[in-house]
Chain A
């Protein structure tokens, strides 16, 4: 999809009819960058909103969380105020012209607004949609469902968020929260387009349950009991999974609420530095808690090796004993046996002394021969000796690893305690602020924090219960198979139930394999962009992006250690943009994805070198780049860079025309050097 033109009438701040023509690759010279420049509050997000409204009929954006439809007006309010005196409703619309796979589309969505007393009422109007096919014929569509389907084919409403996104969205991808995991999982699943596979898994699960219930009714004795228990476990699994989902949902909402409070608290400037410090400390705490979790997981795998320490004494004793026998030549005895046989046959000792039958020496040698052990046992003892020798060689490593792990864990816990008490201290300072509303917000925030901790503990316990249930299920399934074999149960229903279960497991295995593969692929691609976009200094510290099993993103430092908690806001944005670019690249199977990359104020937290890298790189890896930029992030320096690479095609200014009204003015790109301000830091 390539955006050609946006026309708005009385939509949000935009009074009357206003339009934007977007630059795209098809333009002369392959210019594909459009800059829409405006101060905060001029309506940059209004343009983003217009596109979302036109394409999907959506009134709210993800950043409007907590705002209801009724509070969000789309029709321009000043125009509506003027019209009310005439008693006329106001017409508003958004019209979007775009291209996709050699066809041109035109979509217009309108609405009417009217004032009823103080209340602004808005009613959706008709949708007009036409498609000019590659053969030049135009086809018009009226059926809303068909229009929805076609638009969704052009740009899936789930995938859209990765191409049309705001600055907030970029931040969300790098926070270690349920929300982040959900975003990444969604992106990956959308990319894979495996809805049908997910549905097939659920359908076969249901089929398995139906057949097992049927089987439970017809079975007898012990087999009936096992089937019954398996069905019960299936039910419990559903309940547990549902509880986990619910808990995660609650965590998500609590997280959103916490962020909203933080936003309000940030408005209280006098405590801003404390809030920033608290956010930083909380991130560090999360990191340390994650480390503690990883250490516990590592310890779990060390019990076997650590138990060796309990029998070191026995290992030494037995090793020493066999070693002595080896040195004496008693083991392996084949050599000794050969020697004895030779002496007895030749009746001569190795020192050439004659040894005749009946003599005491001869009898001693016969005794010696009879004492020789079984060669198999000797070889077993030698094998054992080798393994014991290996254990002895690693003795220090084994005990050293245990000591290091315990020490690391203790340090980690210590750090967690310190960070917790620091947060408590900061909470007290923030809470004692003179502002009462701040104190109230602070209290509310504490409650949410507490709730989040409880929810996380609940989620971990539920997951543990689910693990136990899975191992019980595995055990019972084994028992079921044994019973079927012993009692020769192989009727048709049993076979049907087994086929359903095997198919369900097979589909699940394929699903897991798919998601694992794509996680690796995305991380790989993301790293390619990451290295190119990072500034020199960051490149020295950071090594690579990782998509973890639970869909969270992690970043590794140059020594391969997790480093996410310590990176700057700018580095986080670069990480997210790399991830999104990787998604786009994979979705387009390695080519440039025919999709606009639409970014609302993306530069605000980036260093100049990061901005420079983005400006140089992004026009090359996407088909169309539309930037909604504000005066604090897009200045002469950035504009000069963008002009230099010759991809900048269109430049628009959002200007105030009275309260609540913005007009869009097109300027030539070269004007940017007169219009934009100088960078304070760079000048």
Chain B
């Protein structure tokens, strides 16, 4: 992970863990040079997974 991403992660610490997970996925995928639409598509699946996990834990 690049230096700037480490800093971003640090700044995100105060947010809920689900937000941090999704935000970091968004940054990592954006950094890999994927087009914006593909990043969004990928994130849709990540959000689905996070919420499913959250609901099954509840």
Question: B-contacting residues of A (Cβ < 8 Å)?
Answer: 192-197, 199-200, 202-204, 206-207, 210-211, 492, 495-496, 499-500, 502-503, 506-507, 510, 513-514
Instruction: Say yes or no: A495 contacts B51, CB within 8 Å.
Output: yes
Closest chain A CB from B49 CB (angstroms): 10
Is the beta-carbon distance between A514 and B11 smaller than 8 angstroms?
yes
For residue A507, which residue of chain B has the nearest CB?
A: B23
**B2 CB contacts on chain A under 8 angstroms:** 193
In the assembled complex, the CB of B8 is this many whole angstroms from the nearest CB of chain A, namely: 6
Contact between chains at A196 and B27 (CB < 8 Å): yes
Q: Which of B8, B22, B44, B55 contacts A197 (CB 8 A)?
A: B8
Number of interface residues of B (CB under 8 A): 32
Q: Are B23 and A506 in contact (CB under 8 A)?
A: yes
**Chain A residues with CB below 8 A from B54, complex form:** 495
A204 to B54 Cα, complex, angstroms: 20
Q: B27's contact among A193, A197, A502, by CB below 8 Å, is which?
A: A197
- Check B31–A196 contact: CB distance below 8 A: yes
User: Which residues on the B side are within 8 Å of A495 (C-beta)?
Assistant: 51, 54-55
**Would you call A496 and B47 a contact (CB within 8 A)?**
yes
Q: How far is the CB of B15 from chain A (nearest CB, A)?
A: 5
| B36 at the A interface (CB under 8 A) | yes
State how many angstroms separate the Cβ of A215 from the closest Cβ of chain B. Answer: 13
The listed residue (A193, A204, A207) touching B4 by CB distance below 8 A is: A193
> Do the beta carbons of B16 and A194 come within 8 Å of each other?
no
Q: Say which residue of B15, B22, B30, B51 sits within 8 Å of A196 (CB atoms).
A: B30
Chain A proximity mask over B1-42: 1 for CB below 8 Å, otherwise 0? 010110110011001101110110011011100001101100
Contacts of B48 in A (CB 8 A): 496
Instruction: Please give the distance in Å from B58's CB to the nearest CB on chain A.
Output: 10
A199 near B55 with CB under 8 A, answer no
Chain B residues near A197: list those with CB within 8 A: 4, 8, 27, 30
Of listed A192, A202, A502, A507, residue having the most chain B CB within 10 A: A507
What residues of chain B lie closer than 8 Å to A202, measured between beta carbons? 36
Please indicate which of the listed interface residues A197, A202, A210 has the most CB atoms of chain B within 10 Å of its own CB.
A197
With known contacts A203-B39, A499-B19, A506–B44 Cβ distance under 8 A = no
Complex Cα distance, B55 from A426, in Å, reads 72
Question: Which of B8, B16, B31 sits near A510, CB closer than 8 Å?
Answer: B8
Inter-chain CA distance A207–B25, complex, in Å, is 13
Q: Which residues of A contact B4 (CB under 8 A)?
A: 192-194, 196-197
Please, how many angstroms separate the alpha-carbon atoms of A206 and B40 in the complex?
Answer: 7
Q: Smallest CB-CB separation from B48: which chain A residue?
A: A496
Q: Which residues of A contact B11 (CB under 8 A)?
A: 510, 513-514
Least distance between A188 CB and chain B CB atoms (Å): 13
Taking a contact as CB atoms under 8 Å apart, the answer to whether A199 and B30 are in contact is yes
Known pairs A200-B23, A507-B23. 9 more at Cβ < 8 A?
Answer: A199-B30, A203-B30, A203-B36, A203-B39, A204-B23, A206-B37, A211-B47, A492-B51, A503-B22
Asked if A204 meets B15 with Cβ closer than 8 Å, knowing A194-B4, A197-B27, A492-B51, the reply is no
CB-based contact A496/B40 at 8 Å: no
Contact, CB under 8 Å: A499 / B36: no
A200 touches B39 (CB 8 A): yes
How long is the Cα–Cα vector from A211 to B44 in the complex, in angstroms? 9
Q: How far is the CA of A514 from the CA of B50 in the complex (A)?
A: 27
